[in-house]
Structure 1
Amino acid sequence: MAHELGFRPSELSFFYRKCNFPFDLRENVRLPFTPQRKTIPEPPLRWGSGGRVVVTAKKSPIDGVSPELNKIASQKLDSAPARRRVRSAFMELQQQLDHCLFKMAPAGIKTQEWYECNSRGLNIFCKRWFPEPDVHIKGAVCFCHGYGDTCTFFFDGIARHIAASGYAVYAMDYPGFGLSEGLHGYIPNFDQLVDDVIEQYKKFKGRPELKGLPHFILGQSMGGAVTLKIHLKEPKLWDGVVLVAPMCKIADDVKPPEPVLKVLNLMSNVVPKAKLLPKIDLGELALRETKKRKLAVYNVISYDDRMRVKTAIELLKATDDIEKQVEKVSSPLLVLHGAADKVTDPKISRFLYEKASSKDKTLKLYEQGFHCILEGEPDERIFNVLNDIIHWLDSRCSST
């Protein structure tokens, strides 16, 4: 799901919270999110002598789920083995959810899941979707998911539809997210994460079944920032870039002031993994349809706790870096955004579209669309967005 640093001053306060903070962070700033399960109200944030007391919010039970499954879902998910156990317990139930991505998923799609140890010794979860054997493969699409998310929930339905149109679709969970190894929700270095993705996707691109085919990369929400950083590091790596509600710039009027950034930087060096930032549930702002919003809680391995301090700093740095280099974006580019998105600002996508040096670039804004235009909109809109992506891919395949 998605999540970002597209801010608007009047809607949410990310740093400010009515609690005993040791400094005043009353700034209206929003950082990446995953639609979250409602939690039992948290106790006040406390500061003790010599350190911080962090109390993790207790998750409330998921309606309609057995006590056994709720017990599994409520366990601590810091480690990858715990997340894998939870996903395994919920996998069958997830596939039966009343959502168009699942109910209308094309038949005959061949999927494969596996783990690969990367050069840093981390076990990375990988997945691929292939069309039926008699369908000609036009190209390959590699996916970059959003903050807190995974490639095993809503994206599974998205990938099946793209695969059915003749594409080999590949995805991975970043270290620390989904089923990949690493501390849950922790990004110690955004560039390192980008390098991890480049390493893995180069392996995918080198597979015999993809030889001679055009390769595209699709990034959603924070995954849009990952995708742009990949492109900026290796501009010739892809035949096209697709961005959905991307995180690529912080609006100037809500960028944290220097004193706040200095404090956060200091904290990130002292307690980088600490969950010190206020927790915000942005589900209502991300998924327009109430019925679909309620299904987001079944994404049980998403990271929905307070953001870790170092993660917040790394995301701020990443958007600053992208903003400084946006004119260097040169790949064929498709940017899609909900016009009513209150998580990432569609104006920022227009900024990207206008500044990018790409000669082949397209911007599509969807009227009344929220942040999750591929998951939380009315069924017709979801399939319109999917068809727009597939049509764009098809037209670039015929010209490569």
Structure 2
Amino acid sequence: MDLFQISLLFGVYSLTTMAMELPFGGLADSIGRKPVFLTAVVASLTSLALFLSTSNFHVLALSFALIGFGRALRSGTLDAWFVETFKAAAPNVDVQPALAKVQWANAVGLAIGATVGGLLPDIFGSVASSLGFSIYDVSYAASFGVMLGVLGFTMLAIVEEPRPKNVNALRQGFADVPLVIKDANLLALKHPALSILLAALAFFLMATNPVEVIWPTRAKPMLDEGYANTVIGVVTATYFFSIALGASLSPRISRIFKRRHAMTLAATFACLAGVQIALALQGNIIGFVTAFILYSVVLGVSETPASSILHRCVEDRQRSTMLSLRSLIQQLGAALGLVLAGAIAEIYSTPVAWIVGAVFLVIAVILSLVLVKRLAP
């Protein structure tokens, strides 16, 4: 594949995800979270099977479309199930510490996946080559096996109040999707706190996504070619572990701000702006990695305060749809930020692009401080 074809494949994934994000969030609110999530897992398994079976561009495009389809299906499903189950079991308990543990588990999973996915081709690549496969197919085969485990675990461990499964109920569930989406959008527009939160998160992703995507191109010239790829792999895993550490610290930091989650969010965004500028100014690998780890820890802290505010403002019947709306707005912000950062980096440099991105974090800080006043009552 040339770079244009690779870009097209990721474009197929992004477009599919964004186009289906809200409808399937609404479907999860209509017919239940568990069946929609299980359908997402099946879509992911199909995508992996297609990816392993071919090198044809058009089939791979279908595989990437299925990845986007699965992403859109699962967005906000088990998240909503978890919050609702938690609130039913502990109605007067702050959900934020529990969300922090979920975020920690998510980041640890990403870190382990990044590490193991990098090791497997080196360990079993020669075996795969002797069988006529690519060395990287080993990682995808392992992913397929883990996904089967997810399917079985979800069927056994996730317990949801069954909803009507007859054809008419399912048809009505699909028919209700536009109404659910309309209600969620109206809620976001009519609820000032939600509108401000979603805008702040969009600016947050506009600033931070270019750092997450572009950082290897900034770090690699600081490294010797002989070990650059290994260091990049180790730093990638460290990035996810650092996010996990930040998530685990989030409840303690929230207590410092007396569980005023909007104030925690404002302080976190302000710290991120400062660290992002510091990261951009680093000229050697030790300073860069140190700043990048600190940046990742603060990123981990930022997730759960935002989620806590959102769940506080939304009822169960709209929770999945609102989580999908949040995901969609964040993806749009991330895409816009990446385009802007790419253009600025091309004209000037990556550090300049990151420093300009810090301005978006300052805007997010201002919006979060407005949110503090909105949520005060």
Q: Is TM-score (shorter-chain normalized) higher than 0.5?
A: no
Whose RCO is larger (CA < 8 A, sep 6+)? 2
More helix by share: 2
Larger Rg: 2
If each structure's strand is expressed as a fraction of its own residues, which one has the higher value? Answer: 1
TM normalised by structure 2 equals 0.26
